[in-house]
Amino acid sequence: MKHLLVPCDLREESYTALRVAGQLADKMHARITLLHVAADEAAAQRAHDALEDLKSRLEQEVRCVIATEVCEGDFLVEIGRSARELEADMAVMITHGLQGDQRYSGSLALQVITEAGLQILVVQSSTSPLLPGAKTLLALLY
């Protein structure tokens, strides 16, 4: 694997997935693209700065090439489109668990797994990445 896509909702908990992706990229000599899908142009402008901050934090911990991308649109559609356009081999994303009506429709992580068409590693937000006691919630070859 040479390219990891990391969809990021910009919550602090998402940094767990970034760290996992960074550690994997280090070991595999892969590059990372941090992706945020914004609802509108104003949110996209704010997301650029936030992604750059996350990129800077991660660069202090790992030695791999990290790019950022912000796009507007539907979360599920844009992750799949970005994965294809960027030729990502795998996505690494956080799950925050089921929230609200997701108890009926499934989590966003589950929806991405079924819609994106690439390998996805889903990391539980409440654990430290790849450290003793860390948990991987779900790893699928889809």
- Specify the pTM: 0.77
Pairing of strands 66-72, 136-140: unpaired
Extended beta strands in the chain, E state: 3-7, 31-38, 66-72, 90-95, 119-124, 136-140
74 pLDDT tier (thresholds 50, 70, 90): confident
Give the model's confidence band at 97: pLDDT under 50 very low, under 70 low, under 90 confident, else very high: low
Radius of gyration of the chain (CA): 14
What is the band of 115 on the pLDDT scale with cuts at 50, 70, 90?
A: low
- pLDDT value at position 108? 60
* pLDDT at 122 (0 to 100): 80
pLDDT tens-digit readout, 4-35: 999 988 888 888 888 999 999 999 999 999 99
